[in-house]
Amino acid sequence: MKKTVTKLADGRELIYYDGDGTAGSAGAPRDAADRRPLGSVATASEIRRDPLLGDSVVIASHRQGRTYHPPADACPLCPSRGDRLTEIPAADYDVAVFENRFPSLTGDAGRCEVVCFTADHDASFADLTEDRARLVLDAWTDRTAELSRHPGVEQIYCFENRGREIGVTLGHPHGQIYAYPFTTPHTEHVLRSLADHRERTGGNLFDDTVADERKDGSRVVVEGEHWTAFVPYAAHWPYEVHLYPRRRVPDLPALGEQARAEFPRIYLDLLRRFDRVFGPDEPPTPYISGWHQAPLRGWEERPVEREEFALHLELFTIRRTSGKLKFLAGSESGMRVFINDVPPETAAARLREVADE
C-alpha cells in the first residue's frame, strides 16, 4: 500500500491510498492542488449529556447546509477532471480519505472523515475486486491507528451507509469514520454485558457467543478459516449479520495477516448475498455496515480489560421484504424495544440460499 498525505484548499487533510505501490490505475499524480476557492470551514459541534439516559447527543446545526443528492456530474466525491473540481483534486484514485467538510464531530469534540472506496461513481462496495476491498481494509486500519493517537479520541467507528432509504445524501460509494470523544452508548451496554457474563460464568461473552452460534449452525451464513458470519439469535433487524474473526482482537490494527487476507472474500460474499436476498428485480439493498472496536481509554475504571473486547463487523438492512422497510416506530423509537418480523433462522437460511453459485 502507498500512502500520500496532502491538504485541501481550506486546510482539511486528504490521504490517498494506492495498491501495489502505484499511483492509481491511471497513474494520476497525487500532488494535484485543490484549485477551488474555498474559505475556512465553519463548524459548531456540541456534545450534550442526556440526564435521564446518560447518553451523549451531538448537536451539529451546521450540517443542515451539507450537499444533498447532487446530480452525478456534480458529485463531490468523483475525481477532479478539467474544470470539474471536487473534494479529490487528482484525476483518478484508488481509495481516498479526507476530513468531512460538514462534520458531526469537530475539534476537541472528535473528528469525522469520509472514505471513498473507488473513483467509479456507479459502483458499490460489492463491485470491488478483492484487492481493492483489502486496500479499503488497510485504509480503515491505518486511520484507526492514526486517530487512536489523538488524545481526545475515545472510540473509532468505521462504517458505510448505503442507499437513500438509509438517509445517504451522496450516491458515490463511500463510508465514514467517526472518532468519538466518548464511548458510545451501544458499546457501554455491551461492556456491561461483558462484565456480567464474566462474573457469572468466568468466560468471555464474545467467545462464548461465537462458539454457541457455530455449534448450533442454524444461523451461520458463511464460515471461513479465519472468520465466522452469523445472524444473531436475537437479531434486531430483518436481515442482520455479525462477522467475527476466529481469533479475538480488540481493534483493526490488532488483526492478524491471515484474517486480513481472507476478509475481502468473506465480506464481498456477504454484501453480494444482501443484494440478492430480495430477488433479482429489487433495487440494491440498503444497508449499514460498521466495525465495532474497543474503546481506547477509560479501562482503569472498568471491570473488564480492553483485550476482552472482540472486534467485529455488524451488517444490517432496514428492508424487511420486497418493497417494504422496517420503520422504527413506537416500541423501537419510544422504548428501544425492537420487534423483528423475520425470525433469525429464516433470515440465515435465506442468506445461505442466495450464495453465488
Q: How far is CA 261 from CA 227, 264, 347, in A?
A: 11, 7, 27
Q: Taking the CA of residue 160 as centre, how many other CA atoms within 13 Å lie in the half-sphere pointing to its CB?
A: 25
Q: Which of 103-107, 121-125, 221-225 has the lowest mean pLDDT?
A: 103-107
Q: Which fold has domain 202-249+257-287+299-353?
A: HIT family, subunit A (3.30.428)
Binding site annotation covers 78? yes
Average pLDDT over residues 32-54: 82
pLDDT of residue 176: 97
Residue 66 CB contacts under 8 Å (≥ 6 apart), including other chains: 101, 102, 169
Q: How far apart are CA 138 and CA 145, in angstroms?
A: 11
Residue 276: pLDDT band (50, 70, 90) is very high
Q: How far is CA 217 from CA 209, 237, 247, in A?
A: 12, 19, 19
Query: Is residue 69 a known part of a binding site?
Result: no
User: In which band, very low, low, confident or very high, does the pLDDT at 102 lie, cut at 50, 70 and 90?
Assistant: confident
Q: Please determine whether the domains at 2-180 and 202-249+257-287+299-353 fall in the same fold group of CATH.
A: yes
Tell me the one-letter amino acid at 182.
F
Q: What are the residue boundaries of the structural domains of the chain, listed by start?
A: 2-180, 202-249+257-287+299-353
pLDDT (average), residues 126-145: 98
CB 95 within 8 A of CB 135: yes
Please tell me the pTM assigned to this model. Answer: 0.93
Dig out the grid coordinates for 236 from the structure. 434486531
Query: Residue 68: pLDDT above 70?
Result: no
Of 62, 150, 174, 292, catalytic: 174
- Architecture of the domain delimited by 2-180: 2-Layer Sandwich (3.30)
Q: Is 174 known to be catalytic?
A: yes
- At residue 207, the pLDDT reads 98
Q: pLDDT, tens digit, for every residue of 229-256? A: 999 999 999 999 999 999 999 999 999 9
116 appears as a binding residue in the annotation: no
Q: List alpha helices for the chain, DSSP H.
A: 130-148, 185-201, 205-216, 257-276, 335, 344-353
